[in-house]
């Protein structure tokens, strides 16, 4: 039983929702929770992670056990780290902290460049 499963179940309990209802509400397989619980799966797709996180109004990073539930973001926007976690979770998790910071920096630079280009239009 991994952190992801435990976090999902804890969120269900905190919100008085059964895991099966959450799955039905989100249109995901109820077998997903069983697979996570039994260790047949250790993760979910980025889309599924985003659905579950959104359902409980937490970040994907929290859902995946990477941050505290109420961790504030510096900009008040969705944390850029969450986007990186979603896109690269399997590989990203295995990187060193220096490599993770490099990816975060690259993502921030690209986001700032895109914002600047949009302002110029």
Domains of the chain: 3-120 (1.10.260.40)
pTM above 0.75, yes or no: no
Give yes or no for residue 91 having a pLDDT over 80.
Answer: no
Q: How many helices (H) and strands (E) does the chain have?
A: 7, 0
Tell me the CA end-to-end span of the chain in Å, nearest whole number. 50
- DSSP-derived secondary structure letter, 40: S
Element housing 116 (H / E): helix 97-120
* 3-state secondary structure at position 45: coil
Average pLDDT of 53-69? 82
Average pLDDT of 45-63? 88
**Burial 87-101, CB ≥16 within 10 A → b, else e:** eebeebeeeeeeebe
Instruction: Please give the pLDDT value at position 35.
Output: 93
Return the higher-pLDDT residue of 115 and 49.
49
């Amino acid at each position: 039983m991994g952190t992801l499963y435990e976090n999902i179940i804890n969120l269900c309990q905190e919100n008085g929702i059964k895991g099966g209802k959450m799955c039905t509400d989100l249109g995901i397989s109820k077998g997903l929770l069983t697979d996570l619980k039994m260790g047949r799966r250790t993760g979910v797709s980025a889309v599924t992670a985003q659905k579950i996180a959104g359902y409980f109004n937490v970040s994907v990073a929290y859902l995946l056990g990477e941050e505290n539930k109420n961790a504030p973001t510096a900009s008040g926007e969705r944390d850029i780290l969450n986007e990186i976690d979603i896109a690269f979770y399997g590989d990203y998790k295995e990187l060193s902290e220096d490599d993770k910071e490099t990816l975060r920096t690259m993502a921030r630079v690209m986001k700032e460049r895109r914002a600047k280009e949009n302002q110029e239009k």
